[in-house]
């Protein structure tokens, strides 16, 4: 006759741990039904333990975290907080910044005595909120840094113009300098607006059926003149037809950014190749931008998609880069459910690969 292990005491078999689903069902039986209903309705990361740390209840979300072993709460910080709440007979709320709860790095834990017999631990995840705050703070700091140079230049050039009013040649020179600074400010403003736009993702991007052949050929055509002016051969190799669901203009801008960077950092008389490849097994299309430029150091390759990060800061400032182009590319691709990566060898060139999911065959056919 078979026996129901879910009904056995949690302490049966010291080295044996019951499957999470069965174990949770067993623990719930020890709590009043109205309490269980409230905990289920809470729906977050919650657990109930005895004063000795034995588990009485573990929510589904809490089961995904490394909190317990062999029916006991083992996470040291939470165990200590539970004992403090029990000793005080009241409530203890504490924030944590830790790396021991999987994806939850910034949390607030509320511990409270429950029905005079147990301790409830409710975990609120603040990881996303903290990260967003840090990103905003860094963004504001970076913007201030980026604006400082051109605004300082404007003031200095204005002073120089005033003192050179009697020299047409000097006035012409400083006027040209003013135009250059104005162009840089305009580019920075446009890039910030583009980044803000794609970061809105689902709320702002269109979801049309888009032919990637059109995206690539348009992006290449827009930069043909720039490549010719620098003596760079710009080639386009379009593979099999690929249709994606997305915002055509945003995708063109993303590919343009990659191609523009490739041309910008390429040597004269070198070539840049833009190619597409369809992978039916992965149901994706890859757009590769391959150059023979200066390349990127290994330590920089993981960071080039960060906002305002420059692998060669001095050169970028001299040539007018804002440090936002690749961040715009990444945010655009991610908003379309894809990914972007780079493989590079210093002095040999780089290959940026933009991967996007194909639209469903029925959608492509209807489109």
Question: Which tens digit of pLDDT belongs to each residue from 270-293?
Answer: 999 999 999 998 999 999 999 988
Structural domain ending residue among the three candidates 125, 154, 175: 125
Could you tell me if 69 and 145 lie in one domain?
A: no
Whether 305 and 340 have beta carbons less than 8 Å apart is answered as: yes
Domain of residue 146: give its range.
128-199
Specify the higher pLDDT residue, 48 or 322.
48
Question: Which tens digit of pLDDT belongs to each residue from 174-196?
Answer: 888 888 788 777 767 766 777 66
Q: Distance (Å, rounded) from C-alpha 259 to C-alpha 224?
A: 10
User: What confidence score (pLDDT) does residue 205 get?
Assistant: 77
User: What confidence score (pLDDT) does residue 31 get?
Assistant: 78
Domain of residue 30, CATH code: 3.30.450.20
The two structure tokens encoding residue 44:
């977050």
Could you tell me if 334 and 291 lie in one domain?
A: yes
Could you tell me if 117 and 132 lie in one domain?
A: no
Q: Distance (Å, rounded) from C-alpha 261 to C-alpha 63?
A: 46
Q: Distance (Å, rounded) from C-alpha 293 to C-alpha 154?
A: 32
Structural domain ending residue among the three candidates 125, 148, 166: 125
Could you tell me if 71 and 154 lie in one domain?
A: no
- Would you state the torsion angle of the CA atoms of residues 121, 127, 128, 131, taken in this order, to the nearest 10 degrees? 160
Whether 121 and 109 have beta carbons less than 8 Å apart is answered as: yes
Could you tell me if 343 and 241 lie in one domain?
A: yes
The CA-CA-CA angle for residues 24, 98, 20, to 5°, reads 15
Structural domain ending residue among the three candidates 147, 182, 199: 199
Could you tell me if 227 and 328 lie in one domain?
A: yes
Q: Is this model's pTM higher than 0.85 or not? A: no
Question: Which tens digit of pLDDT belongs to each residue from 142-162?
Answer: 666 667 777 788 888 888 888
Average pLDDT of the residues in 215-224? 93
Domain of residue 251, CATH code: 3.30.565.10
Could you tell me if 349 and 239 lie in one domain?
A: yes
């Amino acid at each position: 006759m078979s026996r129901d292990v879910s009904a056995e005491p949690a302490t049966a078999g010291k080295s044996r741990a019951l499957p999470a689903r069965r174990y949770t069902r067993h623990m719930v039986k020890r709590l009043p039904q109205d309490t269980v209903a409230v905990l289920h309705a809470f729906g977050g990361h919650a657990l109930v333990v005895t004063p000795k740390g034995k588990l009485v209840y573990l929510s589904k979300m809490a089961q995904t975290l490394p909190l317990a072993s062999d029916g006991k709460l083992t996470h040291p910080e939470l165990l200590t907080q539970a004992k403090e709440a029990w000793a005080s007979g009241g409530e203890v709320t504490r924030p944590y910044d830790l790396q021991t709860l999987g994806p939850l790095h910034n949390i607030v834990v509320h511990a409270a005595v429950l029905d005079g017999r147990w301790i409830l631990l409710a975990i609120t995840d603040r990881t996303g909120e903290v990260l967003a705050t840090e990103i905003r703070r860094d963004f504001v700091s970076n913007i201030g840094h980026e604006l400082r140079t051109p605004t300082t230049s404007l003031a200095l050039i204005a002073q120089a113009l005033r003192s050179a009013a009697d020299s047409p040649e000097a006035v012409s020179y400083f006027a040209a300098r003013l135009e250059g600074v104005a162009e840089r400010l305009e580019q920075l403003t446009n890039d910030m607006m583009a980044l803000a736009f794609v970061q809105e993702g689902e709320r702002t991007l269109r979801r049309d059926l888009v032919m990637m052949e059109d995206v690539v050929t348009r992006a290449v055509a827009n930069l043909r003149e720039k490549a010719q002016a620098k003596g760079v051969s710009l080639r386009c190799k379009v593979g099999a037809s690929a249709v994606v669901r997305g915002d055509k203009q945003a995708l063109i801008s993303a590919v343009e950014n990659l191609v523009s960077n490739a041309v910008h950092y390429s040597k004269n008389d070198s070539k840049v190749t833009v190619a597409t490849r369809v992978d039916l097994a992965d149901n994706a299309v890859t757009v590769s931008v391959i150059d023979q430029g200066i390349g990127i150091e290994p330590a920089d390759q993981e960071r080039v998609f960060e906002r305002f990060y420059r692998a060669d800061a001095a050169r970028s400032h001299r040539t007018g880069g804002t440090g936002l182009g690749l961040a715009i590319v990444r945010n655009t691709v991610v908003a379309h459910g894809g990914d972007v990566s780079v493989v590079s060898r210093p002095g040999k060139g780089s290959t940026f690969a933009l991967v996007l999911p194909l639209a469903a065959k029925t959608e492509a056919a209807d489109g």
